[in-house]
Amino acid sequence: MAKIGKKEAAERIGFLRKELERHNYNYYVLNAPVISDFEFDLLMQELQALEKRWPEFASADSPTMHVGSDLEGNDSDEVRKPGVDGASGAKGDSDAPVAKFAQVAHRYPMLSLGNTYSLEELREFDARIAKDITSPYTFSCELKFDGTAICLTYRNGRLLRALTRGDGTKGDDVTRNVVNIPAIPQVLRVADAGTPAAPGTTPIPEEFEIRGEIYMPFEAFKRLNREREEIGEAPFANPRNAASGSLKLQNPEEMRTRGLDCVLYHMLGENLPFKTHIEAIEAAASWGLPVSEYSRKAGSIDEVIAYVQEWDTRRKSLPFATDGIVIKVNELDLQRQLGFTAKSPRWATAYKFKPESVLTPLLSVDYQVGRTGAVTPVANLEPVPLSGTIVKRASLHNKDQMDLLDIHIGDWVYVEKGGEIIPKITAVELSKRPADAQRPHFPERCPDCGTPLVRDEDQARHYCPNSDSCPEQIKGRFIHFISRKAMDILAGDATIAQLYDAGLIRELPDLYSLTAEQLLKLEGWQQKSADNFLASLENSKRVPFPRVLNALGIRHIGETTARMLATHFGSLDAMAAASREDLLQIDEIGGIMADAILDWFAAPRHREMIEKLRAIGLQFEMSAEETRRLSDTLAGATVVVSGNFTVSREEMKALIAAHGGKNTGSVSGSTTYLLAGEKAGPEKLRKAEKLGVKVISEEEFYQLINHTNTTTPQNTLF
Ligand code: IVH
């Protein structure tokens, strides 16, 4: 550190604290970090060094004294709608709908780990332990899973609660989401239920906590990002952000489709019957809890270092992201003896892998136009090997990111591939900047159709507003329309481009007037391929309404939301007639989505297109099979749903509709029932009491509609 005076130190400390808090917020709350972990750790180290050198500036609320927080600074337990009240202040790659969850105090603080990037410091960690402890000790070496921390409580063998780290002292209660992660058992496995545990197995304590990481394997991450790009949402930067964004999803149903996994690595509780950490984790595994298969006991720091070196290479072939190795003293009595600092245990540390990074020249920047008109800058690089692949292109995300990096064409840029699949440019090597290097010029006009671009402040993205006739957007809409989860028409991007270039398709209904004769005139078409294509178009007329709604490509409305809206409204006409208030009554719909729906239906060309597609025979209503009206028991009744149930809220709402009832979002004088599950919103309960609205439980609701949820197949209604 350069020598600086007291005044500069005070200024620098103030600056670093602010910066670190900002990055903590970007990382934990928005799930959209703008610097790498490595850069963050460098800032933190600098602050630590300054605070050590100038103790008079020490402060209990310095970021060096507490862990980052994923809480959003509101302690109401009402679930907040996305986008209507600032809850979705997240930019960039976070999920727009950020939910509110009840905040619950941690029984034991949830701390972070000290970390190092050098083997030398690992030896120092060992030397500190050896100084404090006289008896022999061993280590548990484990992979550092790059996900989001979770704390599970089991009572009497059942999952009681799942909390995020939060600010370390209290976390968000995400139980309703966590129950949708298949790896996490809701009921533990006993050797032989009801009898004393079999010999050699440890009985399950009455109550214990087990902490670990929820993470998204690379495969699931790639799939999710593909889907997000398809619906015009910004992709997640890396699997960690995707995992923590998913954990805060408002719609627990959607969790199931995200392919999250979990690994548990730290057990806590009163009077647990274990002498070592490894014993505790082995017992957890025997109860059916997911633990890492890659951990290893080490008898010395040399064995620890051998493990670190082995996994520095081996981790690259793992199907999930790791960002280091965690080393823990194995003996629990010695852990207690070593204790904690304000932020982390003295008995454990993390060795972090430096993200692999290469330096390569930036050749040019392309600007790609997506189906929703979003313009994404993409860097073309001098091809360079990185982590086993040749990197030629890297995303620059948006104009803000380009300005932040201050990149110039011809610059040598650092390219990194940490947990990310898409490589990213992290910095510029200024010492190598050519004298004549020029800043790339972010276009003012659409590179495809020349229309002046507009900036969407919310997403920090530029858009081409010419959705009517911008060729890239039109082709993008067709590509989305024909995709498997939409109309499932046998064609690919190249076919769409060919049909577009031949002037045969401009609007979605044009697809249905194509003839074999027209196709056979085009290059590469034969009778058989034309027949198959036309047959798949014909079949698409039977595609059910929820998928047709997805195919229309309304901004922010993806597969899951389309299915939910289709179930809620029953038909496109009912949806088109909905007011903003009607839309906002739906739990999962916030201001951004409601406006996107209203804007879409307000456009005359969309109305015309719907009529043409209707005449062609596409499904614009839920079929009888899909709606399955079960009874009229709730005809005329208005039901508000709040809290958690044994089934998802969507299923509850579908049941209300299936029995003739109407679901609304808020309690008013015209509400017939407030259907209150576990942790129902206190505001709603108070209002119901005040207005004399009958509050019914899940059980009472089933009695009312004469329904047994256990005998109803899960997917009858969907
Ligand atoms: S032990 C008292 N073990 O890394 C600390 N943490 O940077 C107990 N992590 O907060 C944590 N893999 O979220 C532990 N095998 C592992 C881990 C692990 C990932 C995360 C965890 C922790 C963070 C620290």
Q: What confidence tens digit (pLDDT) does each residue in 453-510 have?
A: 999 876 678 999 998 899 999 999 999 999 988 999 999 999 999 999 999 999 999 9
Contact (CB, 8 A) for 361 and 381:
yes
Q: Which of 213, 291, 353, when mutated, tests ligand 1's pocket best, judged by the most ligand atoms within 8 Å of its CB? A: 213
Q: What confidence category does residue 523 fall into, taking pLDDT thresholds of 50, 70 and 90?
A: very high
DSSP three-state, residue 671: coil
Reading the block at residue 530, the tokens are 């034309």
* Neighbouring-strand partners of residue 621: 571
- Per-residue pLDDT, averaged over 171-189, amounts to 91
- Residues composing the chain: 718
Q: Using N-to-C axis directions, what is the helix angle for 591-602 and 604-616, rounded to 10°?
A: 70
d(CA 351, CA 88): 34
State residue 464 phi and psi, 5-degree precision.
Answer: -90, 120
d(CA 581, CA 570): 18
Residue 459 has a pLDDT of 66
50 contact partners, CB below 8 Å, separation of at least 6: 1, 9, 12, 13, 16, 57
The Cα diameter of the chain in Å comes to 88
DSSP three-state, residue 332: helix
Contact (CB, 8 A) for 76 and 136:
no
CA-115 nearest atom, ligand 1: 7
Residue 229 has pLDDT above 60, yes or no: yes
d(CA 611, CA 91): 36
CATH topology of domain 1-65: Helix Hairpins (1.10.287)
- Per-residue pLDDT, averaged over 338-344, amounts to 88
- How far is CA 438 from its chain centroid? 37
Strand (E) or helix (H) holding 253:
helix 252-255
Residue 626 has a pLDDT of 64
Q: How far is the CA of 87 from the centre of ligand 1 (A)?
A: 28
Residue 81 has a pLDDT of 26
More confident residue, 699 or 476: 476
Contact (CB, 8 A) for 156 and 339:
no
Contact (CB, 8 A) for 178 and 160:
no
- Per-residue pLDDT, averaged over 522-529, amounts to 94
Least confident of 4-18, 164-178, 243-257, 439-453: 243-257
Reading the block at residue 287, the tokens are 């109860």
Least confident of 35-49, 70-84, 95-109, 607-621: 70-84
d(CA 325, CA 295): 10
Residue 675 has pLDDT above 90, yes or no: yes
Are both 471-540 and 545-625 of the same fold?
A: yes
Q: How far is the CA of 476 from the centre of ligand 1 (A)?
A: 42
Residue 199 has a pLDDT of 54
| Whether residue 112 has its Cβ less than 6 Å from ligand 1 | yes
Q: How far is the CA of 200 from the centre of ligand 1 (A)?
A: 29
Q: Which residue's CA is minimally distant from atom 12 of ligand 1? A: 144
Domain positions in the chain are: 1-65, 66-74+99-352, 358-435, 471-540, 545-625, 629-706
Q: What confidence category does residue 356 fall into, taking pLDDT thresholds of 50, 70 and 90?
A: confident
Look at the block and give the residue holding tokens 């402890």: 133
Residue 699 has a pLDDT of 85
DSSP three-state, residue 457: coil
pLDDT digit string (tens) for 74-121? 332 222 222 222 222 232 333 433 447 888 999 999 998 999 989 999
In this structure, what DSSP letter does residue 192 have?
T
Residue 630 has a pLDDT of 65
Q: What confidence category does residue 372 fall into, taking pLDDT thresholds of 50, 70 and 90?
A: confident
Q: Which of 44, 143, 144, 244, when mutated, tests ligand 1's pocket best, judged by the most ligand atoms within 8 Å of its CB? A: 144
CATH superfamily of 358-435: Nucleic acid-binding proteins (2.40.50.140)
Q: How far is the CA of 144 from the centre of ligand 1 (A)?
A: 6
Residue 560 has a pLDDT of 74
| Whether residue 482 has its Cβ less than 6 Å from ligand 1 | no
Burial grade of 685 (CB within 10 A; 0-12, 13-18, 19 or more):
middle
Q: Does domain 471-540 have CATH number 1.10.150.20?
A: yes
Contact (CB, 8 A) for 351 and 324:
yes
| Whether residue 674 has its Cβ less than 6 Å from ligand 1 | no
Q: What confidence category does residue 214 fall into, taking pLDDT thresholds of 50, 70 and 90?
A: very high
Q: Find, among 424, 585, 334, the residue nearest to 36 by Cα.
A: 424
Q: How far is the CA of 112 from the centre of ligand 1 (A)?
A: 7
Q: What confidence category does residue 56 fall into, taking pLDDT thresholds of 50, 70 and 90?
A: confident
d(CA 607, CA 654): 28
Residue 192 has a pLDDT of 46
pTM of the model: 0.56
60 contact partners, CB below 8 Å, separation of at least 6: none
State the average pLDDT for the chain. Answer: 86
More confident residue, 176 or 613: 613
d(CA 141, CA 292): 11
Residue of 144, 352, 424, 653 marked active site? 144
- How far is CA 676 from its chain centroid? 28
| Whether residue 280 has its Cβ less than 6 Å from ligand 1 | no
Residue 226 has a pLDDT of 83
d(CA 574, CA 565): 10
Contact (CB, 8 A) for 36 and 44:
no
Q: Which residue's CA is minimally distant from atom 23 of ligand 1? A: 112
d(CA 183, CA 144): 18
Residue 99 has a pLDDT of 42
Residue 92 has a pLDDT of 32
Q: Which CATH number fits domain 66-74+99-352: 3.40.50.12280, 3.30.70.520, 3.30.420.40, 3.30.470.30?
A: 3.30.470.30
Q: Find, among 609, 581, 610, the residue nearest to 595 by Cα.
A: 581
Task: Give the per-residue SS3 of 363-384.
Answer: EEEEEEECCCCEEEEEEEEEEE
- Per-residue pLDDT, averaged over 380-389, amounts to 84
Edge-to-edge strands of the sheet including 662-664? 662-664, 638-642, 673-676, 694-696
d(CA 535, CA 238): 40
- Per-residue pLDDT, averaged over 60-65, amounts to 78
Residue 633 has a pLDDT of 78
Least confident of 64-73, 556-565, 585-594: 64-73
Residue 717 has pLDDT above 50, yes or no: no
| Whether residue 265 has its Cβ less than 6 Å from ligand 1 | yes
CATH of the domain spanning 545-625: 1.10.150.20
Percentage of the chain modeled with pLDDT above 90: 53
235 contact partners, CB below 8 Å, separation of at least 6: 93, 225, 228, 229, 422
CATH topology of domain 629-706: Rossmann fold (3.40.50)
Report the relative pairing of strands 357-369 and 374-386 from DSSP bridges.
Answer: antiparallel
d(CA 99, CA 79): 6
| Whether residue 150 has its Cβ less than 6 Å from ligand 1 | no
- How far is CA 212 from its chain centroid? 17
DSSP three-state, residue 718: coil
Contact (CB, 8 A) for 114 and 349:
yes
Strand (E) or helix (H) holding 326:
strand 322-329
d(CA 572, CA 567): 11
How many Cβ atoms sit within 10 Å of the Cβ of residue 11?
12
Q: Find, among 90, 93, 92, 91, the residue nearest to 72 by Cα.
A: 90
DSSP three-state, residue 627: helix
Q: Which residue's CA is minimally distant from atom 10 of ligand 1? A: 112
More confident residue, 560 or 344: 344
Torsion of CA 616, 618, 621, 623, to 10 degrees: 120
Q: What confidence category does residue 709 fall into, taking pLDDT thresholds of 50, 70 and 90?
A: very low
In this structure, what DSSP letter does residue 331 have?
B
Report the relative pairing of strands 673-676 and 638-642 from DSSP bridges.
Answer: parallel
State residue 368 phi and psi, 5-degree precision.
Answer: -100, 140
d(CA 306, CA 312): 10
State residue 640 phi and psi, 5-degree precision.
Answer: -105, 135
Look at the block and give the residue holding tokens 């798949």: 536
Residue type, 245: G
Residue 137 has a pLDDT of 97
144 an active-site residue?
Answer: yes
